[in-house]
Amino acid sequence: MASTLTIPNDVRKLLAFGSGIGIEIGALDLEVAAAKVRLSRVRVLGRCTIADYGTRPAAEWGAEYARFAASAGMGHLSATVMLPRRETIVRQIALPGVAGKDKESAIRFLLDTLHPYGDMDVCWGWSPLPNASALVGIARREAVERYVQMFQEAGIAVASFTFSAAAVHAAIRLNGEGAEGRAGGFLAWSRTPAGGVEVYGESAARPVFSAEFDMAPERAAVLALSELRLPPETMPQRLEDVLPRPDVNPVENDLSRNALPYATALAGACPRLAPAANVLPPEQRRASSRTLFLPSIVLGVVLLLVAGSMAAYSSFADRRYLGKIQAEIAQVEPQARRAAALDQQIDRIRARARLLLQFRGQTRADLDALNELTHLLEPPAWSSSLDLTRDAARISGEAPQAAPLLKLIDSSALFQNSEFQSMQRSGAVESFQIRTSREKRP
């Protein structure tokens, strides 16, 4: 299942095109709503309640459903069914670093750790959430097959079994207004037909939170805000206010009383744009007529043509711009070559100047070295020969004691690493030959 959470809102509105029938399975009744979506404009085509479905023959209430679907012009559509909350286990799992194509395999690997049914066969489905997370719904296969048989006996084609959290999450995404578009989080609630409080919220800490409470809405909101890690002063909204607002809504579709069938219909209208987790096994899903996707296909082709035209124009503009740049480069290239030649000539002149300065300093350094040795070898020591090179000096001479001369010469700032080449005593004097390194100067 590819994630559609990153589709820009403007593009999402263009792609919002479809029709759906949503059925909420209640304790006693079936709540049914039919909606049509065109470019994010929603029309509710009808709402009805099928009472006491559990005690009536399936053919009887199935005929009632068929009349309603035909009156809404949707007799050919397969329904999206919201399972009772007691029949599903809902989990949110984080899948960091898992590629989109591998998420289903990763969830399948973790499935046994996500439900309390042990070795019982289960049916499951998932839908993507922000921050590399997934919303997973799990139901016992026995319960799913029971509802499948019930709808088959009633003659109702079903495309999806989903649950409240997935349906509301998908319906909100039709216009791209999730937690990321509501200052980081929100909380919404509505009344259920049984008198309970249905709570739905989203936040950065918890991408989806859905629960039903048998208490006052204020108390339920406090508990939900705590679960969502939202500030206590966050004002709860009505669930119908966070769902896409219908442009046409019949009186019988009182969203303040129960908005879940409406949300289920929206989730079934655009399943590719806003996917809701589907726990119905693939082999038991009844797809709607393919002609319903013709407007979406045509719109997709138009979008592809527009995108191709923009890409072709961009390539043409890039080629023109590159040609202009190359022409300007050709104009300034001779000047650049002359500047490079001048830089090379300047470098050669600087090198010659440094060499002349070095030669001029060599004579002075030699004289300083000769003067220093003259002072160091004071009588009665004397030198018979002195050989100076750029990095060394070789001194030959005689002294009463030659050994102290090494330390004496090394004490000078101009010499270092002095050593005897030869030393020989003849009577009261010692003949010596000393080699010393000259201190290099900058």
Three-state SS for 231-258 is CCCCCCEEHHHHCCCCCECCCCCCCCCC
pLDDT tens column, 316-372? 888 888 888 888 888 888 888 888 888 888 988 988 888 887 777 777 888 888 888
Report whether pLDDT(180) > 70. no
pLDDT of res. 231:
92
- Torsion of the alpha carbons at 11, 17, 21 and 22, rounded to the nearest 10: 0
pLDDT of res. 8:
61
**Model-wide pTM > 0.75:** no
Class of domain 372-438: alpha beta
pLDDT tens column, 402-417? 888 888 888 888 888 8
pLDDT of res. 47:
94
Determine what percent of the chain is predicted with pLDDT higher than 70: 92
CA distance 246 to 262: 10
Q: Which of these ranges, 159-168, 169-178, 224-233, 363-372, has the smallest mean pLDDT?
A: 169-178
Q: List the helix and strand counts (H, then E) for the chain.
A: 10, 16
pLDDT of res. 178:
52
9 pLDDT tier (thresholds 50, 70, 90): low
The residue-averaged pLDDT of 288-308 equals 72
Report whether pLDDT(252) > 80. yes
Q: Which of these ranges, 288-297, 359-368, 385-394, 401-410, has the smallest mean pLDDT?
A: 288-297
Three-state SS for 363-427 is HHHHHHHHHHHHHHCCCCCEEEEEEECCCEEEEEEEECCCCHHHHHHHCCCCEEEEEEEEEEEEC
pLDDT of res. 146:
95
Residue 406: Cβ-neighbour burial (10 angstroms; 0-12, 13-18, 19+): middle
Structure-model confidence comparison of residues 440 and 388, the more confident one: 388
- Torsion of the alpha carbons at 154, 79, 250 and 191, rounded to the nearest 10: 90
pLDDT tens column, 19-68? 999 999 998 999 999 999 987 789 999 999 999 999 999 999 999 999 99
What distances in angstroms separate CA 43 from CA 12, 117, 198, 400, one per listed residue?
17, 40, 24, 121
Determine what percent of the chain is predicted with pLDDT higher than 90: 45
Decide if 197 contacts 213 (C-beta within 8 A). yes
How does the average pLDDT of the chain come out, rounded? Answer: 86
Structure-model confidence comparison of residues 90 and 442, the more confident one: 90
Report whether pLDDT(2) > 60. no
The domain made up of 9-176+245-287 has a fold known as Nucleotidyltransferase; domain 5 (3.30.420)
Strand ranges across the sheet with 415-426: 382-388, 392-399, 429-438, 415-426
pLDDT of res. 44:
94
Structure-model confidence comparison of residues 122 and 395, the more confident one: 122
Domain residue spans of the chain: 9-176+245-287, 372-438
Task: Check if 9-176+245-287 and 372-438 are the same fold.
Answer: no
